Amino acid sequence: MRKVAMLLALVLVVPVLGGPGAVARERDDRHGGRAALGTVARVKIVDNRFRPGTLTVARGTRVKWVNRGAVTHTTTSSAGLWDSGNLAPGDTFSRRFRRAGTYTYACSIHASMTGTIIVS
């Protein structure tokens, strides 16, 4: 019984301390609020490319774009669902994907920069 209690305490404490199994909270840059606990997937913007170019995530995942390049970029939905506005080097933008589907986007400054989010 004592082992069960210790294991339960470990399961409850480790996420609070940020250890294995912890789920990060991410700031929603678009709304300025805090997101609910959940999975976060990252897309780096670097060298005039989105990396990865195609990202597959589960419903409810928050995608966070991070501009690691030297110039300003955007992440702009092809269907008008989101627009990050200008992201200077170091800036971030995030969006939660709640519905299954395929979402394409581009940089409105550099039209050759395109990406796809597949939500299953």
Percent of the chain with pLDDT over 70: 68
In angstroms, rounded to a whole number, what is the distance separating the alpha carbons of residues 44 and 65? 6
- Residue 81 pLDDT > 60, yes or no? yes
pTM listed for this prediction? 0.69
Rounded to a whole number of angstroms, the CA Rg of the chain reads 17
Q: 15-56: per-residue pLDDT in tens?
A: 333 333 323 333 344 433 333 446 999 999 998 999 999 999
| Helix (H) / strand (E) containing 8 | helix 2-17
| Average pLDDT score over the chain | 78
- Residue 8 has what pLDDT? 38
Domain-wise residue ranges, the chain: 36-119
For 36-119, the fitting CATH number among 3.30.470.30, 2.60.40.420, 3.40.50.720, 2.40.50.100 is 2.60.40.420
